[in-house]
Structure 1
Amino acid sequence: MTSLLEVSGVSKTFDGFRAINDLSIQISEPELRAIIGPNGAGKTTFMDIVTGKTKPDTGRVLWGARNESLLGLSEAAIANKGIGRKFQKPTVFEDQTVWANLNMALRNKRGPFAVLFHRKTGEDEARISQIASEIGLTDQLSRMSGELSHGQKQWLEIGMLLAQDPRLLLVDEPAAGMTAEEREKTTDILRHAALTRAVVVVEHDMEFVRRLNCKVTVLHEGHVLAEGTLDHVTADSTVIDVYLGRADA
């Protein structure tokens, strides 16, 4: 595995509250990583900084083999570098079919006129079929997306991000609101996606994280508290004290 993303010495303060405090995290390619921690630990701010939504006060965010700085780039420019983000609430085009959603998301080099006159190709069809199979929606391609279950909408949005062929996929609490069967399927989707890219999952559901079977980073007060396997970090007395032992965890 090679280093893809390096967050080094990053800090961010909002109105006197230090959301990120000298945070350093390195993500490889390919890799599946879970990030856990109590509310206010800095998980969302970390993703905001990586995607350009929030600018840090100090530190570096480096990308790719050339260690290119992402700081100062727009959200769109960072997305074009190959960083995709999925928020907790699924956002799909509900009045369009599953097929149409995936087709719109395909990463094609099209100018404004090319988009207007684009015709589907065999390559597009094959790619859509492949993604639909990966996310378990092959038999739902002709269905309106608004008719899908919550879990299926989550899978469709993951598929739409995969259609853009990101090198890094940031996924925020994908298990929220899912049935046990849907959570199981979601871990399979994410584990498969991480075979060829970096996938970072922010999650509270410990059983979901256990099924991911990956390296876990625990954040607390904006910095890394512990890192390793789930068994390793959950046995850490400090992690138990500040996160696992909390009533609101």
Structure 2
Amino acid sequence: MRLLEVSGVSVTFDGFRAIDNLSLAVEDRGLRAVIGPNGAGKTTFMDIVTGKTRPDEGRVVWGEENANLLKLRESRIAQAGIGRKFQRPTVFEDQTVRENLAMSLKAPRGPFAVLFARRAEEGRIRGIADEVGLAGQLSRRSGELSHGQKQWLEIGMLLAQDPRLLLVDEPAAGMTPAEREHTTDLLRRLARDRAVVVVEHDMDFVRRLDCRVTVLHEGSVLAEGSLDFVTSNPDVIDVYLGR
């Protein structure tokens, strides 16, 4: 089932066409990598989906009810189930891992939910910490974590919001080989239950993800398919890989 559909979207900044009639669809679960040269429109694509940028034309449709994301504010889009992780981790460094995750949890609803919130919250926090590989770091101040651990914490903070779609920007940047391997396993595991879209420049990391790849160029889709398929495309070699 299609979870997100971007159709005929274009946007221009000061005469520069950053997105040009872009159309692509994301299924309700699974892993997708988006690659392309600088200026291809990768960041603008994420900005449009999350409501940060409004396109000049086109449609962005979300979920089973075909909700028009272009009519929603950024906060409402996040509440609808779209989480975005930027390249540089943004965690509260003076707070512990537990406190970061607790602040990110969805607020309980109803009197009975509030009554039992603390016990459920602690269980949820421990479950998320275990899922991202920080089960032994809950009491540690977040500023003391390694770069990779901060990345995992931010992913955990997004998971606390129960997103249906995760947009992840260059997760492998600055990581050690061991952290990159852990991140690969984490993203592939998360994609079993939700959609995960990874924007990445590191082709070795993309190959480890072993997923469908979309190549953007000049704001539109240049090629799509397996990594081997797109990297054998002469146009992709010319505009991206050959540089």
Question: In structure 1, how many angstroms separate the alpha carbons of the residues matched to 2:94 and 2:123?
Answer: 23
Task: Look up the match of 2:157.
Answer: 160
How many residues matched? 241
State whether structure 2 residue 220 is matched by structure 1 residue 220: no
Question: In structure 2, how many angstroms separate the alpha carbons of the residues matched to 1:244 and 1:3?
Answer: 30
1:143-179, CA deviations, whole angstroms, 9 ceiling, x for partnerless residues?
Answer: 0000000000000000000010001110001111111
Question: In structure 1, how many angstroms separate the alpha carbons of the residues matched to 2:183 and 2:116?
Answer: 32
- SS of the aligned residue for 1:108 comes to coil
- SS of the aligned residue for 1:125 comes to helix
The one of 139, 142, 164 equivalent to 2:136 is 139
Question: In structure 2, how many angstroms separate the alpha carbons of the residues matched to 1:200 and 1:61?
Answer: 16
Amino acid of the residue matched to residue 70 of structure 1? L
Question: In structure 2, how many angstroms separate the alpha carbons of the residues matched to 1:9 and 1:155?
Answer: 34
State whether structure 2 residue 226 is matched by structure 1 residue 193: no
1:23-63, CA deviations, whole angstroms, 9 ceiling, x for partnerless residues?
Answer: 00100011210000000000000000000000000100000
Amino acid of the residue matched to residue 136 of structure 1? G
Question: In structure 2, how many angstroms separate the alpha carbons of the residues matched to 1:5 and 1:30?
Answer: 11
Identity %: 71
Question: Retained in 1: the 8 A contact 2:108–2:117?
Answer: no
State whether structure 2 residue 31 is matched by structure 1 residue 9: no
TM superposition shift of 1:129: 1.2
Question: In structure 2, how many angstroms separate the alpha carbons of the residues matched to 1:13 and 1:189?
Answer: 36
State whether structure 2 residue 78 is matched by structure 1 residue 79: yes
State whether structure 2 residue 87 is matched by structure 1 residue 88: yes
Question: In structure 1, how many angstroms separate the alpha carbons of the residues matched to 2:123 and 2:196?
Answer: 23
Question: In structure 2, how many angstroms separate the alpha carbons of the residues matched to 1:96 and 1:120?
Answer: 21
- Tell me the C-alpha RMSD between the 2 structures: 1.5
Question: In structure 1, how many angstroms separate the alpha carbons of the residues matched to 2:239 and 2:34?
Answer: 15
Question: In structure 2, how many angstroms separate the alpha carbons of the residues matched to 1:210 and 1:140?
Answer: 30
Task: Look up the match of 1:179.
Answer: 176
State whether structure 2 residue 11 is matched by structure 1 residue 18: no
4+ long deviations beyond 3 Å:
117-120
- SS of the aligned residue for 1:225 comes to strand
1:47-105, CA deviations, whole angstroms, 9 ceiling, x for partnerless residues?
Answer: 00000000000100000111111112110111111110000000001111001111111
The one of 226, 232, 235 equivalent to 2:232 is 235
More moved, 66-75 vs 220-229? 66-75
Question: In structure 2, how many angstroms separate the alpha carbons of the residues matched to 1:77 and 1:139?
Answer: 33
TM superposition shift of 1:125: 1.6
- SS of the aligned residue for 1:176 comes to coil
TM superposition shift of 1:197: 0.6
Task: Look up the match of 2:126.
Answer: 129
Consecutive unaligned residues in structure 1, runs of 5 or more: none
Question: In structure 2, how many angstroms separate the alpha carbons of the residues matched to 1:187 and 1:212?
Answer: 6
Task: Look up the match of 1:151.
Answer: 148
Consecutive unaligned residues in structure 2, runs of 5 or more: none
- SS of the aligned residue for 2:140 comes to coil
Task: Look up the match of 1:106.
Answer: 105
Question: In structure 2, how many angstroms separate the alpha carbons of the residues matched to 1:50 and 1:205?
Answer: 23
Question: In structure 2, how many angstroms separate the alpha carbons of the residues matched to 1:144 and 1:66?
Answer: 41
Amino acid of the residue matched to residue 162 of structure 1? L
